[in-house]
Amino acid sequence: MNLSKIYDAQKILDEKILANHKLEQEELLSSKILALLVELGELANETRCFKFWSTKQASKESVILEEYVDCLHFILSIGLEIKVDRDRKIIFDEILSEKTRGEVISLSINNDRGNKLRTTKQFQEVFTRISVFQQNINHENYYKLLQSFALLGNNLEFSWETIEKGYMSKNRINHQRQAEGY
């Protein structure tokens, strides 16, 4: 997935939100980081990966994908706010380096409990990366956050094509919501 395409789509949405809510001069980074944390918690809740006390299954894949792309919207918006090089042809496959892919494979355990544990640990890693980024806002920490989030998508078994389609679909919904005064 080429991220420059979805960065462009996010930029248009962000500009619409700023104009609709007259926020041009406001600093929104802290609010975006908090929104990302909340959305990530909602995503974890839908996967139920950490709910060892419950036998209830995870939500439908479509619900989990929607929560994942909600997080992606905020990650992209944060990147735009800190002025990452969105024209750099970043591809998710490149974010997942060979070393990182090997780590994912080594964490894989071929049973449901092992998959839940792997996913729980990856959620914790993303939360940690958000915290590190918040404490020291720079491009390097942002890209590490993006990488850990890409790994989470990999753990959730989403293809990059599925993520991109899900993102674009939710982006259209978000534009409609703005048009309706959401």
The reported pTM is: 0.86
**Domains, the chain, with CATH or none:** 3-179 (1.10.4010.10)
Which residue type sits at 111?
N
In whole angstroms, what is the distance from residue 61 CA to residue 131 CA? Answer: 27
- Residue 99 β-bridge partners: none
Tens of pLDDT, residue by residue over 124-174, are 999 999 999 999 999 999 999 999 999 999 999 999 999 999 999 999 999
pLDDT, tens digit, 9 for 90 and up, residues 127-140: 999 999 999 999 99
Rounded mean pLDDT of the chain?
87
Nearest to 59 by CA among 78, 42, 77: 42
Query: Average pLDDT, stretch 42-69?
Result: 97
- CA-only gyration radius of the chain, Å: 16
Query: Distance between CA atoms of 80 and 177, rounded to whole angstroms?
Result: 21
- Which residues neighbour 103 within 8 Å (Cβ) at sequence distance 6 or greater? none
**pLDDT computed for residue 115 by the predictor:** 85
